[in-house]
Amino acid sequence: MSGADLFFGRAPLAGGVPCVTCHTLNAGERVSIGPNLAGIGLRAGDRVPGLSAQAYLERSIQVHDEFVVPGYQAGIVRAVVGDDYGNLLPNEQIAALVDFLLHQQAEEVADGGVVAF
């Protein structure tokens, strides 16, 4: 299963809530729950000093509240899903999501195959 399928909800994700529920990859679009991830592959390595883009994204998925982007609230993932994704997702799914997000180099994603919720 691909990271895109997990992100957009086309593949089952532990906890039942795909990333697209709280995040978007479309530049300029705001989602009230989580930050816009358009171009995150370009920014992730600059978010936390000493962390590579890959390490930042892995940790952000595993423990959502470790790096809360200003303007967003901590505790949402645990409230919606019941636990941190690091305790729910197999390492293969985390790796697939990280790889997918690292490749988000453009301001807008071409794959808009979003499952409606």
Does residue 8 lie within any of the structural domains? yes
Does residue 45 lie within any of the structural domains? yes
Low-confidence ranges of the chain (pLDDT < 70): 106-117
Containing domain of residue 33, as a range?
Answer: 3-102
The DSSP result for the chain, as a single string, is: --HHHHHHTSS--TTS--GGGT---BTT---SSS---TTHHHHHHHHSTT--HHHHHHHHHHSGGGSPPTTS-TTHHHHHHSS-HHHHS-HHHHHHHHHHHHT--SSB-S---PPP-
Does residue 11 lie within any of the structural domains? yes
Residues 1, 46: Cα–Cα separation, whole Å: 28
Does residue 107 lie within any of the structural domains? no
Does residue 64 lie within any of the structural domains? yes
Domains: count for the chain: 1
The mean of the pLDDT values for the chain is 86
The pLDDT tens digits of the residues spanning 30-56 come to: 777 889 999 999 999 999 999 999 999
pTM: 0.84
